[in-house]
Amino acid sequence: MSTQRDTTGKDPVRVAAGLKATVHNPNVSEEAKERATDQLQHMQGGEVDPQTQARSARGVPAADEDVSLSGNQRGGYKATLKNPNVSEEAKEHARHILEAEQEE
77 falls within a domain? yes
In a domain, 63, yes or no: no
**Is 64 domain-assigned?**
no
Give the domain range for residue 85: 71-102
With respect to residue 7, please indicate whether it lies within any of the assigned structural domains.
no
Helix (H, G, I), strand (E, B) or coil at 63: coil
Number of structural domains, the chain? 2
CA-wise closest residue to 64 among 104, 4, 27: 104
- Better-predicted residue by pLDDT, 55 or 45: 45
pLDDT in tens, 47-57: 555 554 444 44
| Listed residue (63, 62, 59, 87) closest to 73, CA to CA | 59
Neighbours of 19 (CB within 10 A): 24
Say yes or no: 16 and 45 in one domain.
Answer: yes
Q: In angstroms, rounded to a whole number, what is the distance separating the alpha carbons of residues 68 and 82?
A: 21
| Alpha-carbon dihedral 7, 11, 12, 16, rounded to 10 degrees | -90
Say what the pLDDT of residue 89 is. Answer: 92
Is pTM beyond 0.85 here? no
Listed in sequence order, the residues at least 6 apart from 92 whose beta carbon sits closer than 8 Å to its beta carbon are none
Within-domain flag for 61:
no
First to last CA, the chain: 48
Within a domain: 26:
yes
Q: What is the pLDDT of residues 67-93, one digit of tens each?
A: 577 888 888 989 999 999 989 999 999
